Amino acid sequence: MPAPEPQVERRSLLRLGALLAAAGTATLVPAPIAHSATRGRGTDTVTTTYRGHAPYGNDQWAYVAFDVPAGVRRISVETSHDAAAGILDLGIFGPSGFRGWSGGARTGFTLSAADATPGYAPGPVEPGGWSVILGPMVGNAGGMAWQVDVTLHHGDPLPGTPYDILPTAVAGRGPGWYRGDLHLHSVHSDGQRTVDEIVAAARQEGLHFIATSDHNTSSTGVTWRGNIPTDLLVINAEEVTTRHGHWLAVGLPQGEWVDWRYGPANPGVFESHARRVHSLGGLTIAAHPLTPAAGSFWEFGLDRVDALEVWNGPWTLDDAANIAAWHVMLCLGKRVAAVGNSDAHSPADAVGRPHNVVHAASLSTPAVLDALRLGRSYAVESTAVTLDFTARTRGAVAGPGEELPLSFFDAVDVTLDVSGAPDSIATLYTEWGIMAATWIDGSGRGQLRWRGWGKASMFARAEVRRPKPASTTLDQLVAITNPVWFYSAQLPPYDVEQRVLFHTERRPGGAWSSMRPLPGAEGAGSFAGVQSAAAGMADGSVVVLGIAPDNGLWLSVVRGAATLQPWRRVAGPDGSTGFTVREADIAAFPDGTCQIVVTAMDGTTYHQLRRADGGLPGFRPLPGLTPKSRWGATKVSITAMPDGSAQLLSYGTDGAMYHCVRGRDGTWSPWGRPAGYNGAPTFAGPALAITGMPDGSAQVLAIGLDGIVYHQLRRADGSWTGFRPPRGVTTPTMGASAIGIAGTPDGSAQVVAVGLDGRIWHNIRKPDGSWTPFAQIPGPNGRDAFPAGQVRITALRDGSTHVTAVSAG
């Protein structure tokens, strides 16, 4: 039996594939070959030699057909080729179909009913037509010569070799978290471990399940004989290695084989194989999808599989690209799970590093695959690392891969508990980027917390990284979770309930008018919206912005109960009325103009001037941190200053608070980051607001990740006093889900907040820095509290204030 050839290093194969792809060679039909045959006869063998020449190219197959007469008990094949010209993949088909594949890992094989070279399935040598399949990968412009020697061995019948059936479950293991590696190679393809050695390595790592996934062969599954472990779940799989990307077919019945001879130019072929895998109860995973090389780079569509292998073996730049692409898919609402596997080939490759931690109903193949398909898992660098990632609201809790459907104004608390990850950084992401981060110290234990609001985000996911360079990156991934989803898969994202925009006034003496709905657009009785903002003008009118349920931006002008200008849709940067936004704010200036800032659905932040005559010249993007870049944000607020400048406050895409100034001449200062509370380097949270004061200072109000309201002053000289929490209604601090602040002519600032009880509360910070107690703002009947989801406040010159609020139901 031929011995395995020395292993060809995988990255070298991929680099050769990249060179071949550059030539654009592509044919998925068998390549025509010329061959000559010579025959020699021994006492019980016949050897035929076939010679041929393969042209330059990668995507080609050649078939050496031969007939097997009755009485042949064994077939042996040996090949040779010009190794300097390329690689010669090798396999064989018999009358009943596939019998084995070794790719470029071997130059020969043998098979019979009694035994076979690893990669090839033992079984009867049937009389009839057989074909050696060759897969030339030729990098030499002049092509590559090859030779195939086929030897037929006659003799007495050989006994068959039945294999043991792999159990589909480990007895006595119910619901829980289970660790496993889905991408492992043995001597049945280009690996160097036997299956027994893989099992031993998995046990040593502390895994609960493994999948043996050799390249393009089913032989691994039919060679278990007396060596199946009882404490480790073994899942049969195949790495389907096309010339246009690799994919894992996990959960195949033993002996089941999936073809690889197709590409994107063959419409529907990959999909048909994926459907077949699903019909057998299996899972489809794109393996190392963005490895930048032909043959490995995934070309069938990232959303056409159940999962993406975003982490493959030791952390590299390829894996970072995989995660970036996967994150984009999540932002588009595509629920494709992420997995991490070792892709271990040699004893130098650690089994289970990385691996997946799966929450399954049992330690069984169906339960593990179902959990992986739903993304109820996270990936870690080793068994030392454990995560607990949850999101909670209104008594409900969800983990990775689960839904936590929210109404628009529900608060959601996300927590990540980490252990086994010393000297690392835990980070939480939504589609808006980084929302929170924390340092995990040398103990390896830590907690990251973040509060979000309703459908402001579609999902939340977490990563843990070690700030230590790897081979091609500046850091190393320690763990990554699948997302918790904040909307139902049956509903489009941001499908919100019909909320109504109300407004009320607080007169200079402190009395409140009745809370009443604003008339709606285009004759509607009220304005259905999800957010509002307002700016008090010098003439006593108020310019109101409203964001409709479709995220369209609308503008109206009111004075008291009277509407001075009906609602009109605000056009986008390109003049389109289909412009949609996530956040908006407006500030009034002494010259009768207003300035508007919005965050578009893609996160880009825009600014425009509303002229004194009501004209809107158009939005322009805010400058970013670097020259010619655009500012991206999750939240934004603007205020007018007495000197005609504007100050902006924003949460950037990294989750941190930033501040900048727009001068009277229209120039922008660089963005700066105010310090956080109690010495923290930055401040992060779900909401913020800023207001200018008559003395040239500005006051900032923000909600922290702990849900508490914080306040600080930015002095006229640009220095900051530091965040401090004002006292709550009956507690030392005030918890809230929405806030607003407005400076009044007497030097005080009025604050509104939607408390954790869902009601609107109001208080005043006096010029001497003292605070009045919080008091409820009355509802439409002038007495009962008004439940709200969002609130803003603006001041007028006579000392009155105008409050806009979106009802909570």
753-793 confidence digits (pLDDT tens): 988 778 899 999 999 999 999 999 988 766 667 778 889 99
Q: How far apart are CA 633 and CA 606, in angstroms?
A: 10
Q: Is a pLDDT exceeding 80 seen at residue 116? A: yes
Q: Is a pLDDT exceeding 50 seen at residue 3? A: no
474-517 confidence digits (pLDDT tens): 899 999 999 999 876 554 443 334 578 899 999 999 999 988 88
DSSP 3-state of 243: strand
- The per-residue pLDDT for 409 is 63
Q: How far apart are CA 276 and CA 10, in angstroms?
A: 28
Q: How far apart are CA 105 and CA 543, in angstroms?
A: 73
Chain CA centroid to CA 621, Å: 27
Residue holding tokens 């898969």? 489
Q: Contact 46/40 with Cβ under 8 angstroms?
A: yes
In a 10 Å sphere around its CB, with 0-12 CB exposed, 13-18 middle and 19+ buried, how is residue 574 labelled?
exposed
Q: How far apart are CA 807 and CA 754, in angstroms?
A: 11
3-state secondary structure 658-687: EEEEECCCCCECCCECCCCHHHCCCCECCE
Position 22 confidence tier, pLDDT thresholds 50, 70, 90: very low
Which tokens is 8 given?
């060809």
In this structure, are strands 337-341 and 307-312 parallel, antiparallel, or unpaired? parallel
- The per-residue pLDDT for 122 is 95
- The per-residue pLDDT for 807 is 83
- Say which residues have a Cβ less than 8 Å from residue 32's Cβ, sequence separation at least 6: none
Q: Contact 2/78 with Cβ under 8 angstroms?
A: yes
Q: How far apart are CA 90 and CA 447, in angstroms?
A: 52
Q: How far apart are CA 347 and CA 289, in angstroms?
A: 24
- The per-residue pLDDT for 503 is 92
Bridge partners (DSSP) of residue 805 are 502, 791
Rg (CA), the chain: 33
Q: How far apart are CA 579 and CA 643, in angstroms?
A: 32
Average pLDDT over residues 136-143: 94
Average pLDDT over residues 695-720: 94
Q: Is a pLDDT exceeding 50 seen at residue 715? A: yes
Q: Is a pLDDT exceeding 90 seen at residue 532? A: yes
- The per-residue pLDDT for 680 is 87
In a 10 Å sphere around its CB, with 0-12 CB exposed, 13-18 middle and 19+ buried, how is residue 768 labelled?
exposed
Q: Is a pLDDT exceeding 50 seen at residue 28? A: no
Selected residue with higher pLDDT from 226 and 602: 226
The answer to whether the peptide bond before residue 517 is cis (omega within 30 degrees of 0) is no
Mean pLDDT of the chain: 89
- The per-residue pLDDT for 20 is 33
Least confident of 385-389, 522-526, 633-637: 522-526
Q: How far apart are CA 351 and CA 199, in angstroms?
A: 9
Q: How far apart are CA 28 and CA 14, in angstroms?
A: 19
Q: How far apart are CA 278 and CA 274, in angstroms?
A: 6
What share of the chain in percent tops pLDDT 70?
A: 92
Cα end-to-end distance, the chain, whole Å? 76
Chain CA centroid to CA 595, Å: 35
DSSP state of 578: T
Q: How far apart are CA 184 and CA 188, in angstroms?
A: 11
In a 10 Å sphere around its CB, with 0-12 CB exposed, 13-18 middle and 19+ buried, how is residue 721 labelled?
middle
- At residue 322, φ and ψ (nearest 5 deg) are -60, -45
Q: How many residues does the chain have?
A: 809
Put the strands of the sheet holding 687-692 in their side by side order.
687-692, 698-703, 709-714
Position 14 confidence tier, pLDDT thresholds 50, 70, 90: very low
Which domains, ranges and CATH numbers included, belong to the chain?
10-154 (2.60.120.380), 163-383 (3.20.20.140), 385-491 (2.60.40), 501-807 (2.120.10.70)
Q: Is a pLDDT exceeding 80 seen at residue 113? A: yes
277-302 confidence digits (pLDDT tens): 999 999 999 999 999 887 899 999 99
Selected residue with higher pLDDT from 726 and 489: 726
Bridge partners (DSSP) of residue 533 are 545
- The per-residue pLDDT for 67 is 95
Q: How many of the other CB atoms lie within 10 Å of CB of 290?
A: 23
Q: How many of the other CB atoms lie within 10 Å of CB of 666?
A: 10
3-state secondary structure 531-548: EEEEEECCCCCEEEEEEC
- The per-residue pLDDT for 756 is 79
Which tokens is 499 given?
């909320």
397: part of which helix (H) or strand (E)? Answer: strand 396-398
Least confident of 43-57, 176-190, 311-325, 444-458: 444-458
242-277 confidence digits (pLDDT tens): 999 999 999 999 999 999 999 999 989 999 999 999
Q: Is a pLDDT exceeding 80 seen at residue 10? A: no
